[in-house]
Structures are given as C-alpha cells and as structure tokens.
Amino acid sequence: MTKLALALALLLVFSACCFASCSGGEESGAGSAVSEPEESSGPEETSEEYSEPEESPEESSGPEESFEPEETSEEYSEPEEESEPESGGGGSYGLYDPNAVKYIDSVEDPSKVGSIPMSYLRFPNVGEYYGRLSCGRIGLNVAVFFGDDNWILNNGAGQSRYSFPPGFGRTILLSGHNISFFNPLQYAEPGDVFVFDVNYETYEYRVISAGVENAESLDPKFKNMLLAEKETLVMYTCYPFNAWHTVPDRFVVYCERIKGLDVKWRG
C-alpha cells in the first residue's frame, strides 16, 4: 500500500511537469506570432536604375525658342538708293530740261512780257549742265556746263564762271576741245545763227566774226569783255583743229544776240 501510494504521487508530479512544459511553448509561440514587423528604412530597392520619364512632344508647353535668326538661301541686299541726277567724275549734274516751259508761255498775256523775273529761274551752280548750244548749218549740238574743268570739257562746252548765262546782258564765254565738241567751229562764218536753249528762254546769236588769235593776247581782251555791259556770245578752241598737243593759238567766234528776253536781275 505504501508503495502504491508512492507510485501514484510520482505519476502526478510527472504529469504536472509535462503540462507546464506544454503551456510555456504555446505562449512562446503566440508571442512570436504577434510580434511587430521590422521597420523599413526606405523604398524597396530594385536592380533597375531610376530614369526620368521622357517628355512627349505633344505635352510641350510651347514652341522651342531660337536665339539665332533663321537662315535662308537668299542673300541679303541693301535697298536700292534713289537715283541721282546724271553726274560725272567732276560732280557735274543736270539742270537743263529741254521740255521746260519758257517764261513767255507761262503767262496769260505774252504781249505784256518785257523781261523775265529772276524769281522764274535759278542762276546755275558750278558743274551744272544748264543749257544746249546748236548750229544746224555747221552740225554743232553740244551740252553747256557752268564751269570749265577737265571733266566738263570732256563732256561738252564749258562756260567761264566769270561770265553770265544768256539774257543777263553780259558776255557769255564758252570754250571746248578742238578735236571733239567744238571741232565744227572751224566752219562758222559771219551770219551763222547759234541757238542757245535754257529752261527759261531760247536765245539766238548771229556770228559777227570768226578767226585765229594768239592765246596770250586773248587774256586781257576777255577780261575787258567780261566787264562790258553788252551781251556777246564768245566761243573759242585750240587751233589748228587737228592738234592734239598744246598750241599757242585759238580759233575765236564772236556773236551778237538777236532773239530772246532780258532777265531782270537788277533793280
């Protein structure tokens, strides 16, 4: 009996130990099941590298700006300048207009016209092509420039700056090259008529005399004529007419005015 009781006591102790051991295991398992997840320090890394998304042309906010002017196949050219009056190396230009209205044709009653007022015309500047001289019988027709530099004499007849235009009642002194524009003067004779056309009037001059004179003697003679209160047309050129070099003589033609109105340039 004593042995049986001792055996039962040992069995009970053993059973209690086994129960306690099983209960602790379940609790430990439960605690691990409800434990909080580990905190993540950032997004999950992947093996692919990050890249910015490509912009679609349709999503562009506006046209692309350009800092350079667009190039074209056409070359740039400056605008054409307005044309100037006909000119030459000496800076000469035109004033003469063959279709200009003469003063007598601009007034209501031509019979009352006694002279041309200075306000109707302009005294030519040096270098201006202001008139045309012609003589049909000898075949002369030449532009007249105010001044007598080399360029003028290569392009027409030149008038001394110390002489006056037609109609002023003073000497008109013209020169020209013997081998070109004034070559026809060699055929001039007394009685021939020269027509001098300017914008305000058409004048006519009749030859009084023509002949050869020494160049040195002409200087004082011309100076006196330029001071005279008489309108005389004087034309001269080198003589002989086929000379290409400097010569001591001149062929001179003197004319008197026979037609044309006076210019009222003095009070």
pLDDT, tens only, 205-235:
999 999 999 999 999 999 999 999 999 999 9
pLDDT at 33 over 50: no
**What is the rounded average pLDDT of the residues 95-101?**
95
pLDDT at 267 over 80: no
* 148 vs 154: CA distance, rounded Å: 10
* CA end-to-end span of the chain: 184
pLDDT at 176 over 50: yes
Q: Which of 133, 260, 128, 246 is nearest to 185 (CA)?
A: 133
| CB-based contacts of 60, cutoff 8 Å, min separation 6 | none
Residue 264 host element (H or E): strand 262-264
Other CB atoms within 10 A of residue 66 CB: 7
Name the CA radius of gyration of the chain, rounded: 59
* 236 vs 243: CA distance, rounded Å: 14
- Fold classification of 93-119+128-264 is Sortase; Chain: A; (2.40.260)
Paired tokens of 69? 């002017």
Lowest mean pLDDT among 50-54, 60-64, 81-85, 165-169: 81-85
Paired tokens of 46? 């992947």
pLDDT at residue 173, as a whole number: 98
Largest CA distance in the chain: 197
Per the model's pLDDT, the better-predicted residue between 86 and 241 turns out to be: 241
pLDDT in tens, 119-131: 999 999 999 999 9
Reduced to 3 states (helix: H, G, I; strand: E, B; else coil), residue 265 is coil
| pTM: predicted TM-score of the whole model, two decimal places | 0.67
Residue 36 DSSP code: P
pLDDT at residue 241, as a whole number: 97
How distant is the alpha carbon of residue 69 from its chain centre?
25
